[in-house]
Amino acid sequence: MVPRANAEPLREQGDQQQDVIGRFRSKEQDRKCITDDNDIIKFYVETLKMIPPSFVEAGPRKNLYFERENVRVALLTSGGIAPGLNTVVESIVERHVGVYGLRIGPLERGLILGFEDGFLGLEENRYQELNPEKVRGWCRFGASKLGAGRGSQDVKKWLETLKQHDIDILYVIGGNGTLTGAWKLAEAIEQEQMNLSIAIVPKTMDNDILWVWQSFGFSSAFDRATEIINILHTESESNRRVCVIQLFGAKSGHVAANAALASGDVDAVLLPEEDFEVELVCRHVKQRVASFRHAIVVMGEGARGIEKRNGRWFRWRADTREQRDNNFHRLQNSIKNTLQQGGLERYQVFGNQPQHVIRSVVPNSHDQVYCRRLADMIVDSCLGGYTNFMISSWLTEYVLVPLAFAAKGTLSKHGFKTFPTGGVFWRTVLRSTGQPSFLSHEVQHALNNGSVREEDLG
């Protein structure tokens, strides 16, 4: 994340413009510490004798690198859909035209292109010309008016399209997979020495992107997930049934844990970060059914069970969508068999996968405001000459995170943000569900000595 090519800014904004867009960020005041952990700060200051690493503060600059009236802008929404995509697009367009005075028209150089279906549209040169009138009211719709997709990751074709339209700034809105594609494109832009800024607005309902305090779409997702859990709880309680609900989270359990706690009517929650022994989950559900005549189990997509076969422990695989769907059905069947063996066969087991219902909802009030703030800050920062960054709400500030940090998993062995199962919040979730540990001493020992095998699906 660097200023463009160390070039001189084209012009300086006056105090009148500052009154319109807000306080200018300065080089002396725009760096924010990346951690709020006092022990880490003390380690850097007292032991290493160094200033703790920090991110640059996002926001408007007094000196602009691009001509605000004539800049040529492109944007796309990549990956899966999420609440808030349209709000980000609408806000970026409005910021450029309504605040910075971008001139769009047949006789003007200024331009805003929205490429359709994500990177696929960039490959195939399919786009819509955007202006405030066209995008007005998009914020009231879920999903993406531009369409979302990943394409074939053909960076050469992406560059050709960007060059053809003489694009100055490319805004990419997407999640972890999108970050990887954007990083490849950013590297190619540097190699080609193109005078083009690229910046990312991070999007994921899973809330699993590194260096993002909370992703946009997450609040709306677990809001809706909580509502669905409560509806299915009413169904289960009234009809004396067990419901297994699979929520978003292939690698992280933020949605499942938050929705379960918000509901207060969940009997067990299973996360990708913490394996579970299938038999112990089934035993717990049987006890809840015997006591309350219904039960609700919430599982993140990537939650993996461990079970014993022929004297050996095997862990379910959850690498693909097909495997995760299979695990969802396997858990239901295991619970059903346990209830039958315990004389509780009259209690039916059913499942629900509401992902598509959740991902397409209109963003809630929190996400609407959050998306607008992200859009404002990313436009300000790109016009100020920054590139190869991801806009992020980090601790109490909006900051510019170097794209390498987010795309390459820098400073994390996982490459994505996991849910902290060892923390106080997780203990609060467990108290709410009343679930015990779903790992016996035998399985824990097997995990520690590496004798739990990955399931062979060949």
- What residue ranges define each of the domains in the chain, with the CATH number in brackets? 2-216+363-407 (3.40.50.450), 218-360+420-454 (3.40.50.460)
Specify the pLDDT at position 5: 41
> Nearest-CA neighbor of 262 among 429, 117, 413, 119?
429
pLDDT class for 3, splitting at 50, 70, 90? low
Give the number of other Cβ atoms within 10 Å of residue 404's Cβ: 17
Q: By the 8 A CB rule, do 419 and 429 touch?
A: no
List the single range of 202-216, 274-288, 342-356 with lowest mean pLDDT: 202-216
Residue-level pLDDT at 8: 57
Distance from C-alpha of 284 to C-alpha of 288, rounded to nearest angstrom: 6
Per-residue pLDDT of 230-254, as tens digits, reads: 999 999 999 999 999 999 999 999 9
For the chain, count helices (H), then strands (E): 16, 22
Q: Is the pLDDT of residue 1 over 60?
A: no
Smallest CA-to-CA distance from 375 within 160, 139, 178 is with 139
- The DSSP result for 110-135, as a single string, is -EEEEETTTHHHHHHT-EEE--HHHH
- The fraction of the chain above a pLDDT of 70, given in percent, is 95
Report for 38-47, 140-149, 237-246: range of highest mean pLDDT: 237-246
The 3-state DSSP class for residue 391 equals strand
How long a stretch of residues is the chain? 458
H or E stretch including 230? helix 218-239
Please tell me whether residue 310 adopts helix, strand or coil conformation.
coil
Where would I find the H helices in 240-273? 254-263
Average pLDDT score over residue span 210-232: 94
Asked whether residue 30 carries a pLDDT value surpassing 70, the answer given is no
Angle at 185 between CA 179 and CA 191, to 5 degrees: 140
Q: In sequence order, what are the residues at sequence separation of 6 or more whose Cβ sits closer than 8 angstroms to the Cβ of residue 134? A: 93, 128
Asked if residue 90 lies in contact with residue 139, where contact means CB atoms within 8 angstroms, the answer is: yes
pTM of the full structure: 0.91
Q: What confidence tier does 404 reach under pLDDT thresholds 50, 70, 90?
A: confident
CA distances from 416 to 54, 176, 212, 406 (A): 20, 8, 10, 8
Per-residue pLDDT at 35: 75
pLDDT at 6 exceeding the cut of 50: no
The predicted model gives 387-409 an average pLDDT of 86
56-70, 85-99, 156-170, 365-379: the lowest-pLDDT one: 56-70
As a whole-number percent, the residues of the chain with pLDDT over 90 amount to 72
Residues 145 and 54: their CA atoms lie apart, in Å, by 36
Residue 51 is classified by DSSP as P
User: Which letter, b or e, does each residue of 160-180 get, where b requires 16 or more Cβ atoms within 10 Å of its Cβ?
Assistant: ebbeeeebbbbbbbbbbbbbb
In degrees and rounded to multiples of 5, residue 57 shows phi and psi of -70, 135
What is residue 411's predicted lDDT score, i.e. its pLDDT? 55
What average pLDDT does the structure give for the chain? 91
193 has pLDDT over 80 = yes
pLDDT value, residue 29? 66
189 — phi, psi (to 5°)? -60, -40
Q: Which two tokens stand for residue 140?
A: 């009231």
CA dihedral 13, 15, 19, 24 (to 10 degrees): 60
Average pLDDT (296-320) is 95
Whether 185 has a pLDDT exceeding 80, the answer reads: yes
Higher per-residue pLDDT: 39 or 430: 430
239-274 b/e with 16+ CB inside 10 Å = b?
eebbbbbbbbbbbbbbbbbbbbbbbebbbbbbbbbb
Distance CA 421, CA 351 (A): 25
Q: Which residues pair with 399 in a beta bridge?
A: 57, 392
Please identify which residue in the block is written with the tokens 């413009």.
17
Contact 110, 69 (CB under 8 A): yes
Does the pLDDT at position 417 exceed 90?
Answer: no
What's the mean pLDDT in 73-98?
96
Contact 402, 211 (CB under 8 A): no
How much is the pLDDT for 9?
63
CA 288 – CA 318 distance, rounded (Å): 27
